[in-house]
Amino acid sequence: MSDAGEFIDLALQRESSWSRAEESEARHGRGHRYYGASVGAVRGTVRDALRRHPELTHDDITALSSELWDVPVFERRLAAVVLLQSSVRLLTNTDLTRIEGFVRSARMAALVDPLAVDVVGPLIAGLDTIGRVRAGSVLDRWVRDPDGWLRRAALLSPLRELRAGAGTGPGLCATPARCWPSRACRTGRRTTPARSPPRRSTLCSATWPSGAPSWKCDRATAGMQGPEFAESGLRVGRPSEVPPPGRYRPATAIVRRSPVRSAA
């Protein structure tokens, strides 16, 4: 065992707790052993290890991650994920083969999801165009693989980019180099028709009875009913002035009626 690997393992064992280990086993199942260290302790241990060993290169990082992953202890494997996440700038598309082995042996969402979202996604986002094309071919194979966990990792990998608004997802790609894993995306072809975003009125928020004429509201709100009309921000009431003939017809005002009381 390397010095960094031994440091991480001993630190995680010092942070162990029997009660937390039993809770983790009840939550994740018996496919792994558990030290009982918290997620914060795992992240702090990896951070301390990188500070103690700043000389670690790409090969050292990948070898250390495999060393931690070889022992089926949940906290060790989570430390391997955090290690790859902290050093994702050093990873290349060839490291997807190693990550594929991690995903196949993990068999739990608590390890597969951070591998896909926090490691595979940023890894591909940092590659050049050629590297993304090669990585995209790997993810295309993952999507068609019988292993459901591998398919899950492929579908979750662009989640961070989609949340940041940098990509448009498979099948709706503005630029081929910024999306994966669909081959249609890399060739620039759309597999689903593009939809223009719904129009939002900028005047409806200042309409009845605040003074703006009703016919100046955006026509995009015409025909809205119920919750759609309420979400548009249009406040219905008595119009402030009568629209000229032939202009946009105002919406019908809501009239509150008092409840009818039945005769005693």
What's the structural domain count of the chain? 1
Residue 110 lies inside a defined structural domain of this protein: no
pLDDT mean over 97-126: 94
Cβ-based neighbours of 38, under 8 Å, separated by 6 or more: 15, 20
The CA distance from 103 to 90, in Å, is: 20
DSSP 7-19: HHHHHHHHT--HH
Residue 93 lies inside a defined structural domain of this protein: no
Residue 200 lies inside a defined structural domain of this protein: yes
235 neighbors 253 (Cβ within 8 angstroms): no
CA dihedral defined by 65, 70, 74, 79, rounded to 10 degrees?
-10
pLDDT mean over 179-187: 41
Residue 204 lies inside a defined structural domain of this protein: yes
Residue 177 lies inside a defined structural domain of this protein: no
Q: Which residue did the predictor score with more confidence, 256 or 116?
A: 116
pLDDT mean over 8-21: 92
Per-residue model confidence (pLDDT) at position 260: 53
In the chain, the percentage of residues whose pLDDT exceeds 70 is 62
Residue 223 lies inside a defined structural domain of this protein: yes
Tokens 């050049």 belong to residue: 128
Q: Which residue did the predictor score with more confidence, 174 or 258?
A: 258
Considering 39-43, 167-171, 199-203, the range whose residues carry the highest mean pLDDT is: 39-43
What backbone torsions phi and psi does residue 165 show, to the nearest 5 degrees? 80, 15
Residue 230 lies inside a defined structural domain of this protein: yes
Give the range of the structural domain holding residue 200, as residue numbers without chain letter: 196-236
Bin 165: left if φ > 0, else alpha if -120 < ψ < 50, else beta: left
235 neighbors 209 (Cβ within 8 angstroms): yes
Per-residue model confidence (pLDDT) at position 57: 94
Amino acid identity, position 156: L
Residue 231 lies inside a defined structural domain of this protein: yes
The CA distance from 154 to 147, in Å, is: 11
Q: Using one digit for the tens of pLDDT, what is the confidence trace for 128-157?
A: 999 999 999 999 999 999 999 999 999 999
pLDDT band (50, 70, 90) for residue 36: very high
Residue 84 pLDDT exceeds 80: yes
Per-residue model confidence (pLDDT) at position 261: 55
pLDDT mean over 108-121: 94
pLDDT mean over 65-82: 95
Q: Using one digit for the tens of pLDDT, what is the confidence trace for 228-258?
A: 444 444 444 443 344 445 544 444 444 445 5
pLDDT band (50, 70, 90) for residue 181: very low
Burial of 259 (0-12, 13-18, 19+ CB in 10 A): exposed
pLDDT mean over 202-221: 37
123 neighbors 96 (Cβ within 8 angstroms): yes
The CA distance from 102 to 191, in Å, is: 31
